[in-house]
């Protein structure tokens, strides 16, 4: 048996090499472990940041929603501030509102949660107040002749003739209302009659009023007519055996006269602007709303002579909107016959309505003069349409910024220097406003309050009669859809001081 004997030189040459290898291996493992640890830490940190950004995004969305809901009830859209943000869960947000143009508001909300930060923006248009819920309304005194019928129906439920419930009409004025009737020609008002504040309803003869005759709580200010900018064609006199067709789209004439025996056909969807409109006897005007609604604006005189005819292809009053700017000296005469399913708004002039024209919809004017027995059928569906119009409309939404705080601390309360316990929840973080409110308390006592909203205790309110925030009407989405004018309580209110 041979044995290999290592020499001492060989042993000296190999001494410590295992240690080196071990050290290299250990160091490699250590480096790898450190790298993996750091990598895991980075991934974990990134995941945490992503989660925080997502949460911040949702907090900012919630902030926008809070501000948007505020807009629907007359609030400013300002919720919290960077110095005093609203607290939501483990995060905070504040919303800033900027009025870009009249009625157009930009809301910018910043949300912060953990290390996440998100900034979102919405541009919205404030809702519009519809005057057509007033039903039949005259700024000046309204006189209803004998044999008239003012009632209501709901166009969303079918035709007027098919409905048995004709109550819910609204007849009002900023001045007094005089209603006459005779045994042969009784007058029927199936709803409320509301004279102006401090004014009365004078009833003479055979008159039936199914609703209240209490006066209005406050006078109603009618807005002006906003005539759209449409290039007007030349003044036109249409005297032909064939109809004049105004097709869908925008169209305008400096003035338009429809001579006797001629026809005017306006097709929707269209916006028609006329300097003046004259429809002579034996002429007729047809609103064809088969394909869409029609808006007719008349800036000057508007005269539909006796013996002319007005007709609409549909029976939806909201599809035909007639607005006349007019002047107090030149009344708008609607002496045509036929059924007009539409809305008539003449805020600065008198409307003379002949008895052959039955109006289904609403009629609001500076002065309403009814010639003979009038047939006015208010469309209750207009209240539902108006409620939708009062809601703000979202025009744009965008993300302005999504990121991390980038500070040493990942806590927004540290970054902003806030005491979490001192922050308010979103509903209490809206900017303080001047609240003017008339309401009934739980004992049905009439109160009024005029002051900062922060000093008002909403828990004492049972029913709101009327309220404004910074002079903007407050809309209560859950309240029943009221038509006509707000009624006066008829007694002096209890004047409230600061409650909180």
List interacting residues with other proteins (CB under 8 A). Answer: 231, 233, 240-245, 247-251, 260-261, 263, 265, 267, 282-284, 290-291, 307-309, 311, 337-338
In the complex with other proteins, which residue's Cβ is closer, 233 or 493? Answer: 233
Q: How far, in Å, CA of 374 to CA of 187, rounded? A: 9
Rg (CA), the chain: 36
Question: Smallest distance from the beta carbon of 161 to other proteins, in angstroms?
Answer: 9
Distance between CA 203 and CA 482 in Å, rounded? 25
**Within 10 Å of residue 155's Cβ, how many Cβ atoms?**
23
| CB nearer other proteins, residue 110 or residue 308 | 308
Distance between CA atoms of 375 and 273, rounded to whole angstroms? 28
Dump the DSSP string for 239-250. Answer: --SSPEEE-SEE
Would you state the structure tokens that stand for residue 139, as one six-digit string?
A: 């700024």
Report d(CA 158, CA 138) in Å as an integer. Answer: 28
Q: Of 108 and 280, which CB lies nearer to other proteins in the complex structure?
A: 280
Nearer to other proteins, 156 or 260 (CB): 260
CB of 250 to other proteins, least distance (A): 6
Q: 240 to each of 223, 236, 237, 258, 289, how far by Cα in Å?
A: 38, 12, 9, 9, 23
Shortest approach of other proteins to residue 199 CB, angstroms? 39
- Cα–Cα distance, 62 to 426 (Å, whole number): 9
Phi then psi dihedrals of residue 222, to 5 deg: -85, 130
Identify which of residues 178 and 248 has a Cβ nearer to other proteins in the complex.
248
C-beta of 308 vs 369, nearer to other proteins: 308
Q: Are 266 and 289 in contact (CB under 8 A)?
A: no
Which residues are registered as beta bridge partners of 122? 107, 397
Place of tokens 């029976």: 315
Nearer to other proteins, 98 or 260 (CB): 260
CB of 431 to other proteins, least distance (A): 38
- The least CB distance from residue 243 to other proteins, in Å, is 5
> Shortest approach of other proteins to residue 321 CB, angstroms?
21
**463-469 and 434-440 beta bridge pairing:** antiparallel
Q: Cβ closer to other proteins: 212 or 291? A: 291
Cβ proximity to other proteins: between 69 and 248 the closer is: 248
User: With respect to other proteins, which residue has the nearer C-beta, 333 or 350?
Assistant: 333
C-alpha to C-alpha distance for 299 and 326, rounded to whole angstroms: 6
The side-by-side arrangement of strands in the sheet containing 472-473 is 472-473, 463-469, 434-440, 446-452, 494-496
Output the smallest distance, CB 128 to other proteins, in A.
25
Residue 467's SS3 state is strand
Query: Which residues lie across from 433 on neighbouring strands?
Result: none
At closest approach, how far in Å is the CB of 354 from other proteins? 14
| Nearest distance in Å: CB 251, other proteins | 6
Output the smallest distance, CB 290 to other proteins, in A: 6
Report the C-alpha gap between 79 and 99 in whole angstroms: 15
């Amino acid at each position: 048996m041979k044995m290999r004997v290592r020499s001492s030189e060989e042993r000296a040459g190999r001494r410590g090499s295992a240690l080196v290898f071990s050290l290299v291996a250990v160091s490699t493992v250590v480096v790898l472990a450190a790298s993996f640890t750091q990598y895991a830490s980075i991934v974990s940190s990134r995941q945490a940041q992503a989660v925080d950004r997502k949460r911040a995004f949702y907090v900012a969305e919630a902030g926008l929603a809070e501000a948007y809901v505020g807009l629907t009830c007359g609030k400013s859209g300002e919720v919290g501030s960077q110095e005093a943000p609203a607290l939501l869960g483990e995060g905070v947000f504040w919303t800033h509102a900027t009025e870009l143009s009249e009625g157009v508001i930009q809301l910018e909300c910043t949300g912060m949660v953990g290390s996440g930060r998100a900034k979102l923006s919405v541009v919205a248009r404030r809702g519009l107040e519809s005057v057509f819920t007033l039903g039949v309304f005259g700024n000046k005194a309204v006189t209803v002749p004998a044999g008239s019928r003012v009632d209501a129906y709901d166009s969303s439920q079918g035709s007027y003739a098919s409905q048995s419930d004709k109550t819910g009409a609204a007849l009002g004025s900023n001045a007094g209302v005089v209603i006459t009737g005779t045994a042969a020609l009784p007058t029927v008002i199936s709803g409320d009659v509301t004279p102006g504040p401090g004014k009365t309803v004078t009833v003479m003869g055979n008159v039936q009023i199914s609703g209240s005759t209490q006066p209005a709580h406050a006078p109603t200010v009618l807005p002006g007519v906003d005539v759209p900018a449409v290039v007007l064609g030349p003044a036109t006199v249409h005297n032909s055996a064939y109809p004049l067709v105004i097709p869908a789209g925008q169209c305008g004439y400096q003035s338009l006269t429809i001579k006797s025996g001629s026809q005017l056909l306006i097709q929707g969807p269209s916006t028609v602007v006329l300097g003046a409109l004259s429809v002579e006897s034996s002429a007729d005007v047809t609103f064809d709303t088969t394909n869409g609604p029609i808006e007719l604006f008349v800036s000057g005189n508007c005269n539909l002579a006796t013996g002319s005819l007005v007709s609409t292809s549909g029976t939806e009053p909201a599809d035909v909107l007639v607005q006349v700017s007019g002047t107090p000296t030149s009344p708008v005469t609607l002496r045509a016959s036929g059924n007009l399913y539409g809305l008539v708004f003449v805020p600065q002039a008198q409307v003379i309505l002949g008895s052959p024209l039955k109006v289904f919809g609403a009629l609001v004017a500076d002065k309403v003069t009814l010639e003979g027995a009038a047939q006015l059928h208010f469309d209750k569906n207009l209240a539902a349409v108006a409620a939708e119009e009062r809601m703000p409309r979202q025009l744009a939404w965008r993300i302005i910024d999504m990121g991390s705080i980038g500070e040493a601390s990942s806590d927004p309360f540290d970054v902003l220097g806030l005491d979490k316990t001192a922050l308010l929840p979103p509903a209490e973080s809206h900017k303080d406003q001047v609240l003017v409110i008339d309401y009934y308390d739980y004992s049905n006592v009439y109160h009024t309050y005029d002051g900062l909203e922060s000093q008002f205790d909403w828990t004492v309110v049972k029913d709101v009669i009327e309220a404004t925030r910074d002079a903007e009407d407050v809309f209560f989405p859950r309240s029943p859809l009221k038509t006509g004018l707000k009624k006066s309580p008829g007694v002096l209110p209890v004047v409230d001081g600061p409650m909180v």
